[in-house]
Structure 1
Amino acid sequence: MKKLILNTLAVALLLTTACKKDNNNNEIATGGAATVTASNYGFDGSASLGKFSSTKAGITQVSINGVTTFNVTAIRDGGNESITLVLLKKAAVGKIQFGSQLANGGIIISKDYTKAGDGALNYSTDNNGTTMSGGGEVNFTKVDGNNVEGTFYAVAYNNAKKEAFVEQGSFKGTIK
């Protein structure tokens, strides 16, 4: 989980500090405007905290040396909770599943995005709990140029093997 979080933060830092195209066909882009919602989400075995809604979301797709990474990052309006989708491939219509045995990327659900290094506050689909494995799915329903839409869900665990979940999630926005 720490590796996925650190990689996500490194990509986010790279994207916020650079916006250019170089001579090696490596494309660097800043995040495009997006909205992200989920009908339910929660942490540590609690009942649903209700709806997650973010207008502070961004979508990026970066290709470096032939490797493409697609990211959606959203901070809940009025709070510090965040959801980050990290796909190790280019956006394309279809489903992508996540779990500890799949190398497709993952989903990180955070209680406080300002404390990305705190393993107790950040939950990843790469981690496993006592009786379940973390996992989830992203379904791209529309990819039209730089405009993308999709749905997602996830079950994720922190370093103490406590569970977080997000249900009936959706994203819509422009890749930058």
Structure 2
Amino acid sequence: MKKILFSQLVLAMLIITACKKNKSDQPETTSGNATLTAGNYGFDGTASLGKFSSTKVGITQITVNGLTTFTLSAIKDGSNESISIVLLQKITATGTITLTYNGGTGGIVLSKDYTKPGDMSLNYSTERFSATGKGGGEINITKLDGNTIEGTFYAIAYNNTGKESFVEQGAFSGKIQ
């Protein structure tokens, strides 16, 4: 049940971030509100594509019907690639959250094109597996001060055809909205 719920939350989050809005509909953002970087990342078994850097980051934590979800979504600057973290829990303290395939704690989705959320060959999840491995990763919350959060992460994820994606040396910081 948790796996189905997680999949639905991730799909809904991808659809929401893929929606195009008129510039006048976009909320004004303050420079430096939230950032996400990764030292290395790649798709389909390739070597590192280099650094992932985003200033288009949203961090939320909401509770609906007793289930609290922490979500962090980032679109790479100048690209349609994205990294999304969804945790099925309330973040109340610093610490490490281990993501395992079918673990029920949430996961990370790496996308080649966030505007195509329905194309599962472009979206790689820690909740998928291949013949040679299972998705997983780790999120380490290093600072939580009121609504300000900082942390690090890494992940191995797979698309629906079993191709692998990875992200390492990830870091994020910003305000939870």
What is the distance in 1 between the residues matched to 2:98 and 2:58?
A: 21
What is the distance in 2 between the residues matched to 1:51 and 1:149?
A: 19
Counterparts of 1:110-125 in structure 2 under 5 Å? 110-125=111-126
What is the distance in 2 between the residues matched to 1:106 and 1:95?
A: 13
How much identity, in percent, do the aligned residues show? Answer: 58
Q: CA offset at residue 10 of structure 1?
A: 2.7
C-alpha RMSD over aligned residues: 2.3
Distance verdict in 2 for CA 1:41–1:159, change over 3 Å: same
Counterparts of 1:108-147 in structure 2 under 5 Å? 108-147=109-148
- Residue number in structure 2 paired with 1:23: none
What is the distance in 1 between the residues matched to 2:157 and 2:13?
A: 21
Counterparts of 1:149-160 in structure 2 under 5 Å? 149-160=150-161
What is the distance in 2 between the residues matched to 1:78 and 1:10?
A: 23
Instruction: Give unmatched runs, 5+ long, in structure 2.
Output: 20-28
Instruction: Give unmatched runs, 5+ long, in structure 1.
Output: 17-30
What is the distance in 2 between the residues matched to 1:11 and 1:158?
A: 17
1:128 aligned counterpart, secondary structure? coil
Q: CA offset at residue 131 of structure 1?
A: 1.2
- Residue number in structure 1 paired with 2:104: 103
What is the distance in 2 between the residues matched to 1:169 and 1:84?
A: 12
What is the distance in 1 between the residues matched to 2:168 and 2:176?
A: 23
Using structure 1 for the length normalisation, give the TM-score.
Answer: 0.85
Q: Residue type of the partner of 2:81?
A: E
- Residue number in structure 2 paired with 1:22: none
- Residue number in structure 2 paired with 1:37: 37
- Residue number in structure 2 paired with 1:8: 10
Q: CA offset at residue 6 of structure 1?
A: 4.0
What is the distance in 1 between the residues matched to 2:117 and 2:98?
A: 24
Q: Residue type of the partner of 1:118?
A: D
Q: Does 1:170 align with 2:177?
A: no
Q: Residue type of the partner of 1:158?
A: N
Q: CA offset at residue 82 of structure 1?
A: 0.2
Q: CA offset at residue 84 of structure 1?
A: 0.2
Q: Is the 8 A contact 1:57 1:72 kept in 2?
A: yes
Counterparts of 1:17-36 in structure 2 under 5 Å? 33-36=33-36
Q: CA offset at residue 64 of structure 1?
A: 1.4
Q: Residue type of the partner of 1:73?
A: S
After superposition, what is the alpha-carbon deviation per residue over 1:60-91, rounded to whole angstroms, capped at 9, x for unaligned?
00011221100100000010100000001111
Residues matched between the structures, number: 161
